[in-house]
Structure 1
Amino acid sequence: MVKDDGLRLPPPRSGRAIGRAVAESAVEEIPLGGLLTKIWNLTHPPREQREQEEWREQITQRTNDNTAALAEMADQIKQAFAGYIRANTYQPYIGSAGRLSFFRGGMLRSLMRIARGTGQVHDLVVLREQLAENEVEVAEILQSLRIAFDKLVDEPGSIAFIHALDTVLNSDFDKMTIRRGIEAVTSMDISDPAIQKVADTICRQIWDFNRAVVELGRFANGKAA
């Protein structure tokens, strides 16, 4: 915080100045006195002059300290404002993307059982039902995120967020790629040995997708790289 410690210009010392002037005048009356006076003034400047120089140095230091403090305050305000803008700009899209995440209690649970070789026909039935249940909702969320992508792609300062959003929407493990993979699993025979490898691949894609959604969420608080 910028503060004033009460630095004041040193008061004039007229008595000392008069006495010094009288002494210097007396010295100048002797041979080489003027030279001696100049040397004396260089090596022993008047006390008032020394105090004024010290005062100027203190003022300069205080000015530098205050300038640094003001710069730090301005930077804090700038960061807070940027955080507010970032949260209000990205938060709705981050929230939408978060709804696309896969949870262990949902499709991921059945897929993990199939990948481990302990899956049952019931798991395939559940996966088909879950795909059908959230098909419309997923399509609406993805459409809203694509609109956001097109809206923000030319916005200054949104490049990093756009790249993170693009990973969620258009990567090798995006939502629709995973849903197509799950659909392929539901069309396979649960006794087919190949189903385990397919399910395992989808599980890995889901983990990558969930990490991408988490990374996107970090933009809400500025922790993203």
Structure 2
Amino acid sequence: MVLKCIAIDDEPLALKLIAGYVARFPLLQLVQTFEDAITGAEFLKANPVDLLFVDINMPDITGIDLVRSLDVKPMVIFTTAYKNFAYEGFELEAIDYILKPIDFKRFEKAVEKAIEYHRYKTKPTDEQTDESLYVYSEYRMVKIDLNSIEYIESMEDYIKIHVANAKTILTLMPLKKVLEKLPADKFQRIHRSYIVPISKIRSIQNRKVKLTDTELPVSESYLDFVRNWMKSR
């Protein structure tokens, strides 16, 4: 597996640095670099690649607008000198955002995410396991071990994924969509606002599900699950 990639940045020194970093990864092939965002976008429309390194602030069009214009989007790693990003960038599901000046260790971490995610997405169906969930949070892709999930909570357009011994992860996604990404034999929706891992249910009483450290309500629509769960005990 070799990932074809290009880099777009109006700063020649930044491109030179990225090219040098990419050369240190046997699994990456840098096809071309562009100082002009429009030319780079035109190249991408005719020559799809696996991974794109792109600056956000460029004089002709922004990196965010460039990525949005692509019909076929590669994995994207944004590079920028600014800490604050437009809300629209969140929706582009970037693999990562790297702040300039680009440190190699930080670059390496982003590339490893891209390689791992590519393997996950291209793995044959009969070889896939349901051990991880990928979501986008704080402008980058996050991998979550399914066994670490305590419960998932709906917050209107967002969801909060409560993870054991770690910071709660907030992501822009409806509860219904995340449920579709989870193995049906391991997770159950119990309320319009909650999904729980079945293995972490300690007890159910009076329409309340008791987890390890949390108690959550069960709505009328999901009482069949409660009955079936209690019969299996």
- TM bucket normalised to smaller: under 0.3
Structure ranking higher on relative contact order (CA contacts 8 Å, 6+ apart)? 1
| Bigger CA radius of gyration | 1
